[in-house]
Every structure is written in structure tokens, then in C-alpha cells.
Chains A and B, each alone.
Chain A
């Protein structure tokens, strides 16, 4: 596994003037934010605020209605499709449901990206797969099918697959959704561990407060009412300094309402 030396202030993903729509319906407008290299960046907001749509744009599944997404200096949505596909190979994505290919075993799931994009031998791939599955605590489960393991294990296997090609940036869509508190905590610890060892930038779409406070060092808050980002920065600082009542209500589970 490679370890990259990074300074925290190098911008990795820059989103400018981004507007997202579903048909005629504007989900979020005029979004501007920067994710620095090595950040654990949380995209927060209530249900239906456009978090997942934003992630689909960042990972190349949905084109924005307006605005741009830059990975370092490269305009992601103005590249050719093949160029974008190449960039996508440098991303690892953990989907909400794990999204493991159900007809393949865990080992085959993790091996597929390696088979497609590396020139490793069969043995080499097997060693890689064993390592990646061991990293997420699933050593010995190589020959299991996704339907034979629990939801939490499926997420971890999804993470092993997302890490298969040692990505520059890892995206997590609601990583702790549907997990019990202990499994959720274990996944959070794993994310931190991976970030520190792999040196990847991590983007997490979530509304799980314990996760946000435990692992994120940077964030934006998307507001359903105004359909834009109303706060940005470290979530812990945001809790102390934000004046926006929706942000405070969200970060305190509605216990505290910001003084207007």
C-alpha cells in the first residue's frame, strides 16, 4: 500500500457554481465548496436535500445542470467519456447497500477491478484480494456470496472493493445506514484507519451525527428550504459558531435552536 505525503491545504475537489436538477425541479443551486487533499469531508443535510444527488455528480453518474466539478485542475464534466472513465478508476465508492455484484463471490467482487485495470497475475490478484478483505476484517470469507453474509459485512466487503485499486478519493454513501451502533462505530474507525494509512481524500454523505463528529474535519450543510449550502467547515466548529437555525437544529437533533 502506498503512503502519500500531503499537505492539508491542497485542493483536491473544487465544486463551483453547481446546480443540480431532476427534470424541472431544482434540487440544489449555486453550490461552491472545496475539498482538500486528505480531508474527511461530510456532506450533511436532512432527507431529500440533495446529498445523494451531489454524490452522483461527483462520481460521474449524473451530469450537473450548471457549474463545474474540478478534480485538481481537471474539469471532470468537460472531459471525454473515456477520460472521465479513467478518472473514475481512481475513485472508490461504497454504496449505501454495498452494491456488491450478487453473482460473484466476495473475492471475485474485489478481484474484478484488479483484473480489469492491472496486469497482475492470477496469484498476484489473489494475494491482493486476501489483503483487502483482511483489512476490512473479512479474512476467510473469500468464497462467500453477498447473500450469505450480514448487512454490516456486505458494507465492509463493499469497502474492500472500493479500496481495490488504492483510490485517491473514497466516497461513502450513508455508510452507517442500517447498521447497529457498534458496527457503525467499527466502520467509522475503519474509515479513519484507511484514511490515515492510504492517504486518500474521503467524502461521506451522511446524516449520522456521531459519525460526523467522530470522523469529519470538513463539511457542508445542504438546506432543503433554501436549496443551497448554508454552512461549511469543521462540523465541531460549525456547531459552536453557526447562526443558522437549521444547521444548529440538525447538529443538535433539534434540542437547541440557534438564537436569531
Chain B
């Protein structure tokens, strides 16, 4: 019997017309001879419809009396892979039981599929997860991963240092056009989002302070709170986080995709160092642009705070400005700017590092991008904590 084929769209109609009884997949077990068992397929055998459960051959062998298995499929009106899967399951049961299987009664297409499926013996020892299932092995694997990623980071920082050396000696090759483009990308194109977040952070600081300070009738100190908060902490941290999500992620995705497309290899084989060509300009640009963005964020944050102070708490703006001027000096702004340089370095480093060591697949690029952002934010917060301790120790 040949497999019946239907044009698209005809099959469901045909099935309905056949009626429920004809359409049902049926299985009969017959015993034509004392040592032979025959499996008779009939009706519609279609994946997704209900088909009979597979018989347990061991139970049917009648204590070893059955030595042969045959098939019959004359009553089959439609069949697909469901028959093949069904039969291959039976074959697996017959082999250990020592029952000879005669496949002649099967549809010829099904026989061919069965032959094709058994043509190549399953690869032995291909169970890749056998070791990983063990708890200790998993811990070991993780340990090795962490160790190699630490080594990788140091190697990368070392390469970058050498690249700086080449830059100073005027031997680093990169395109100035790339630098201009990056300056634009990390500079004025980031201004809208930095503006929005900075104004809002200024507003939030002012509101938060106002609620508490009103209790002591000391609303005017909102100006101090906003100024110190923005200059020392919030401006560098918020720009760092924004830039890591915006630019750090873009660096990782960009370099990662270049890695996937063999573009990084093409640079290497041209004798150009990818660190000089791709990483160095990005690090330089971010280290240069971050303090500017931070300063901009400072100003907008102060403006946001001032809007709350003047608009909602009726503080005269001269008084607000005067308080701000007294609250912060150049040291506070400098601390913020130094932090922002460091944060810029962290963002560029983590973005470029993840991109350079990206695997060669689409999912690897996604992973690199995510890691770049997460790692940058974690290190920004850690570095900020260290700064807080150090500035406290030296009393500034």
C-alpha cells in the first residue's frame, strides 16, 4: 500500500467525510500460526490524533512460544510518522526477546523510513551531559570558568596597557573617522536620556529631602542635599548606568557581531591589532566623554532640584542658589568627575571585553551584551563603594 498524499487543505475535509469509524486508527493482534503474531493496522494513523497504545510484546509472546512477528496494513487509509514511530518501538522490544520481525506487510514508504532510521548506528559515548550531572563536577566546571574569566580579564587589561603604550609612541593604528563617530555616539546623542534621568533624579532628591526637612522647618537645606547628592554620587552613578546600558551594550554587540562575521579575524590577518583598532578608540572616547556627561548631569540635576525648591517650597531662587554655592565646592565636583572617568573606563572595558571574547553564534552575542551591562553596573557600584570609603578615610 502506498502512502496517500493529499493536497494542502483537502485533508481535513476528507477526514470528516470518511466518518468517525473509518477515520479512527485501529490495531488488531492476530495469531495466524502458533509461533507467529501479526499486528494489523487499519484506519487513519495520523500524528496528533488518537492512536492505539503500543502492545507489550513480552506479554504477547505466550511464554516464549512466539518466534515471529508480521505486519498487515491493507486496512490503512492514511499513515504518517506515527506508524513508523510505533513500529520502531515494537522492533526495539523484539530484538532482546529474540523475535524475528518480517516487515513485508508494512507500507513500502514506512519500510524505507525504518531502514533509513537504522542505517547509521547511534553514536556511542555521545551523552554530553553525563559528567555535568554530578554535583561536584558542576562546581568544578564553574570554578574553572571563573578562573579562566579572571585570567581573560587580566590578559585583556594587559593588552590594553600595551596598546596605550603604542598610542603614546604614535604606533597604534585606528581610524580617526571611527573616533569622531564614537564621540558623537557617546556624546551628544546620549544627551536626551541623560537629561531626562538627571532632571528626574534631581526632582526625586529634592522631594525626598523636602518631606523630611519640612519636619524641622529646614526646607532650605534641600538645596544642599541636591547639590551634594548630585555632584558626589548621583550624577556619576546615573550617567555610568545609562551609558553602560546604552553604549556598553552597543560596544559588546558591535564587536561581538564582528567576531561572528570573522571581521575581527580579517583585522588580525591584516596585521592590525583589534585592541588598537576596536578597543582603544572606544575606551578613550568613553573616558573623555563621561566627565562631560557627568558635569552636564550635575547641572540638570541641580536644575531639577531647584524646580522643586522654588516651585513647591517657595524658596526664593537667589537664596536657593546661594545655599547651593555654599554647600558644594570644587572638591565635590572633582570627586564626581574622577568617579565618572573610572566608570567610563569600566563600561568601555566590560563592553569591549565581552565583545572580543564573544562566541561565534547569535546567542553568544546576546549573552555578551547582557554580561557587558550587568558586569559594568556591578563594578560601578563596587567602585563607588570603594570611593566612599576612601574619601571618608582621607576626609574629603
Contact = CB atoms under 8 A, between A and B. Distances in A.
A91 B266 CA distance: 11
Nearest to B254: A103
B268 interface: yes
A95 B269 CA distance: 11
A117 B272 CA distance: 10
A26 to B, nearest CB: 17
A60 B262 contact: no
B268 A61 contact: yes
Interface in B101-127: none
Interface in A120-178: 161
Given A97-B261, A102-B258, A102-B261, A89 B270 contact: yes
B263 interface: yes
B173 interface: yes
Contacts, number: 49
Nearest to B173: A116
A112 B271 CA distance: 12
Interface in B173-193: 173, 175, 178
A214 to B, nearest CB: 25
A14 to B, nearest CB: 20
Interface in B213-266: 257-258, 261-263, 265-266
B271 A99 contact: no
A184 interface: no
Interface in A64-122: 85-86, 88-89, 91, 93, 95-97, 99-103, 112-113, 116-117
B262 A95 contact: yes
Contacts of B266: 93, 95, 99-101, 161
Contacts of A96: 262
Contacts of A93: 265-266, 269
A112 B263 CA distance: 13
B262 A99 contact: yes
A59 interface: yes
Contacts of B271: 85-86, 88-89, 116-117
Q: What DSSP secondary structure best describes chain B's contact surface?
A: helix
20 contacts: A60-B268, A88-B268, A89-B270, A93-B265, A93-B266, A93-B269, A95-B262, A95-B266, A99-B261, A99-B263, A99-B266, A101-B263, A101-B266, A101-B267, A102-B261, A102-B263, A112-B270, A113-B270, A116-B271, A117-B271
A206 to B, nearest CB: 16
B269 A88 contact: yes
Q: Which residue, B173, B263, B266, B268, has most C-beta atoms of chain A within 10 A?
A: B266
Contacts of A85: 271
Interface of B: 173, 175, 178, 257-258, 261-263, 265-272
Nearest to A171: B269
A202 B261 CA distance: 23
Contacts of A91: 269
B270 A116 contact: yes
Contact of A88 (B173, B262, B263, B270): B270
A188 B110 CA distance: 43
Q: Which residue, B178, B257, B271, has most C-beta atoms of chain A within 10 A?
A: B271
Nearest to A115: B175
Contacts of A59: 269
Nearest to B272: A116
B261 to A, nearest CB: 6
Contacts of B267: 101
Given A88-B268, A95-B265, 8 more contacts: A59-B269, A95-B262, A99-B266, A100-B263, A102-B258, A102-B263, A112-B175, A116-B271
A61 B265 contact: yes
A89 B269 CA distance: 7
Q: Which residue, B175, B258, B269, has most C-beta atoms of chain A within 10 A?
A: B269
A93 B270 CA distance: 9
A103 B263 CA distance: 10
A82 B261 CA distance: 25
A191 B268 CA distance: 23
B262 A97 contact: yes
Interface in A179-232: none
A188 B217 CA distance: 85
Q: Which residue, B261, B267, B268, has most C-beta atoms of chain A within 10 A?
A: B261
The 3 closest A-B pairs by CB, nearest first: A85-B271, A99-B262, A99-B266
Interface string A25-65: 00000000000000000000000000000000001110000
Nearest to A116: B173
Nearest to B268: A61
Q: Which residue, A96, A101, A117, has most C-beta atoms of chain B within 10 A?
A: A101
A91 B267 CA distance: 12
A246 to B, nearest CB: 16
Contacts of B269: 59-61, 88, 91, 93
Contacts of A99: 261-263, 265-266
Contacts of A61: 265, 268-269
A234 to B, nearest CB: 28
Contacts of A60: 268-269
A85 to B, nearest CB: 4
A118 B173 CA distance: 13
A22 to B, nearest CB: 13
Nearest to B267: A101
B144 to A, nearest CB: 12
Contacts of B257: 102
B6 to A, nearest CB: 33
Q: Which residue, B261, B268, B270, has most C-beta atoms of chain A within 10 A?
A: B270
A89 B261 CA distance: 20
